[in-house]
Amino acid sequence: MNKEEIKAILPHREPMLLVEEAYLNEDGSATAYYDVRGDEFFLQGHFPGNPVVPGVILCEMMAQSCAVCLAEEKAAETYYTSLNNVRFRQPVKPGDRVRCHCRITKARKPFYFAEGKVYVGDKLCAQGEFSFMLA
């Protein structure tokens, strides 16, 4: 999916649209990409002279990537309901191409449970379990 196709699924828009390219895999998981340019609002002041993508933004990237798994579900809004076992392993910096791999692990509509991982190249940068609600 390109950015316009992603916008048809996600309610997010710039500057909070954090998925630029996405793929629904044969196993039902999703892989999505975001290129960190360096001029993003969340890098301003985090940290001067040593910009690092905040962990909460990496979590948001995972959640938005996971929405690709639910492309067929039509929802007006999507809300995070929990984050569990989140770990940050490596910093993500300007110039990095972020790859998120997410999958739905369980569903009790309107609630969905998922797990995700964030990579830069082959390096695992973040991972976690989360749930969200479609409204």
Q: Going edge to edge, which strands form the sheet with 21-24? A: 21-24, 30-35, 97-108, 111-120, 123-134, 78-88
The residues annotated with a catalytic role in the active site are 46
Tokens of 128: 């976690």
Q: Give me the residues paired with residue 50 across strands.
A: none
